[in-house]
Amino acid sequence: MDLAVIWFIAISVLWIGYFILEGFDFGVGTLLPFMGGRDSVDRRVTINSIGPVWDANEVWLLTAVGATFAAFPAWYASLLSGFYVPVFVILIALILRGVAFEYRGKRDGSAWRAWWDRAIFFGSAAPAFLWGVAFANIVRGVAMDADQIVTAGLLDLLNPYALLGGLTTLSLFTLHGAVFLTLKTDGPVRVRARTAALWAACVAVPAAAGFLAWTQFAHGEAWTLPVAAVAAVALVGGVVAVLLRHERLSFTLTAVTVLTAFTALFGSLFPNVLPSTTDPAFSLTVANASSAEYTLTVMSWVAVFFLPLVLAYQGWSYWVFRQRVTGATVTGTPAGPGTEHEPAA
> Using one digit for the tens of pLDDT, what is the confidence trace for 60-96?
999 999 999 999 999 999 988 899 999 999 999 999 9
Q: Does the pLDDT at position 124 exceed 80?
A: yes
pLDDT band at 17 (very low <50, low <70, confident <90, very high): very high
Is the pLDDT assigned to residue 131 strictly greater than 50? yes
Percent of the chain whose pLDDT exceeds 90: 70
State the average pLDDT for the chain. Answer: 90
- The confidence score (pLDDT) of residue 64 equals 93
Rounding to the nearest 10 degrees, give the CA dihedral for residues 114, 110, 107, 50: -50
> Could you read off the pLDDT of 225-274 as tens digits, one per residue?
999 999 999 999 999 999 999 999 999 999 999 999 999 999 999 999 99
| DSSP string computed for 181-215 | HHHHB-THHHHHHHHHHHHHHHHHHHHHHHHHHHH
Which of the four pLDDT bands, split at 50, 70 and 90, describes residue 341? very low
Predicted confidence band of residue 41 (pLDDT cuts 50, 70, 90): confident
pLDDT of residue 319: 87
Determine the Cα–Cα distance for residues 132 and 168; give it in Å rounded to an integer.
7
ω before 73 within 30° of 0 (cis)? no
pLDDT tens digits for range 301-332:
998 988 888 888 888 888 888 888 887 777 76
Report the C-alpha gap between 323 and 334 in whole angstroms: 16
State the pLDDT confidence band at 334, using cuts at 50, 70 and 90.
Answer: low
pLDDT at residue 38, as a whole number: 63
Task: Taking residues 201-225, report their average pLDDT.
Answer: 95
Tell whether the model's pLDDT for residue 333 goes beyond 80: no
* Per-residue pLDDT, 345: 40
Stretch 268-283: mean pLDDT, rounded? 93
Q: Which residues of 70-91 are buried (b: 16+ CB within 10 A; e: fewer)?
A: bbbebbbbbbeebbeebbeebe
Lowest mean pLDDT among 34-48, 79-93, 108-122: 34-48
Residues paired with residue 185 on neighbouring β-strands, in sequence order: 325
- Res 344: pLDDT: 39
CA distance 328 to 345: 20
pLDDT at 318: 86
Residue 10 has pLDDT above 60, yes or no: yes
